[in-house]
Amino acid sequence: MMWTIPNILTVLRLLAAPGVAVMFLYFTRPYADWFALLLFVAAAITDWFDGFLARAWKQETKLGTMLDPIADKAMVVIALMIIVGYSSMSPWLVLPATVILFREVFISGLREFLGDTAGTLKVTVLAKWKTTAQMVAISFLFSQGVFEHYLIMSSIGMDQEAITSVLDGGVNDDIGLRWKFNAMVWSGNIGVGLLWVAAALTLVTGFDYFAKSLPFLKDDGS
């Protein structure tokens, strides 16, 4: 029962996490952004499928239960590391990413300390929404990188005044600068907005988990 289809999907998702980073080592942009986006989205989809299939086929295992949250966290942490690194340390990305990373490290350490007791603290619906918000936000932020580099490639050889004239509508847009610029701006804004939503949900679910664990953290006799 160890190598069921749900478990294989979980392991593939776990392997995809470092694979997202590897894309930026072996490919130039925007190809690296494209491959990272496709790999991340495919892995995120398996996050829903492996749990659904495990329940539908009654193939829930201890291995899958252990690896599933690890794969989710690895995907999010590595993707955020890449996005923040290529964003010139924008505070709009650094702050929510810091909140998310701090929470994941803190809760992981708490779960390790609690041991078997951690299994009694069930995952809430809000926590699942938190993970969904993180993955959708990261997908939009990767897509921003795709549009940004197509915009740069299309405007090679043009000075800033010419680019501004095209974007303002003063000159015919024969090379699609406007839609690439708008797609870059919108995907970036949606991605950042969802990342802040994910950070807020991360704080709420982290506090909820910590509050539930407090009875197990008391010393004997206290």
For residue 70, give the CATH number of its domain.
Answer: 1.20.120
Question: What pTM, to 2 d.p., does this model score?
Answer: 0.86
Out of 63-67, 147-151, 157-161, give the one with best mean pLDDT.
Answer: 147-151
Q: What is the gyration radius of the CA atoms in the chain, in angstroms?
A: 21
Domain assignment of residue 221, yes or no:
no
Domain assignment of residue 184, yes or no:
yes
Domain assignment of residue 56, yes or no:
yes
Residue written as token pair 């990188």 = 145
Specify the higher pLDDT residue, 159 or 78: 78
Specify the higher pLDDT residue, 32 or 55: 32
pLDDT band at 108 (very low <50, low <70, confident <90, very high): confident
191-220 residue pLDDT tens: 999 999 999 999 999 888 888 888 877 766
pLDDT band at 68 (very low <50, low <70, confident <90, very high): confident
Percent of the chain with pLDDT over 90: 24
Average pLDDT, the chain: 84
Domain assignment of residue 182, yes or no:
yes
What's the structural domain count of the chain?
1
In 3D, which of 135, 140, 134 has the Cα closest to residue 197?
A: 134
Domain assignment of residue 219, yes or no:
no
Domain assignment of residue 40, yes or no:
yes
Identity of the amino acid at 162: A
Domain assignment of residue 165, yes or no:
yes
Q: What count of other Cβ atoms lies within 10 Å of the Cβ of residue 134?
A: 28
Domain assignment of residue 205, yes or no:
yes
> Domain of 116?
5-213
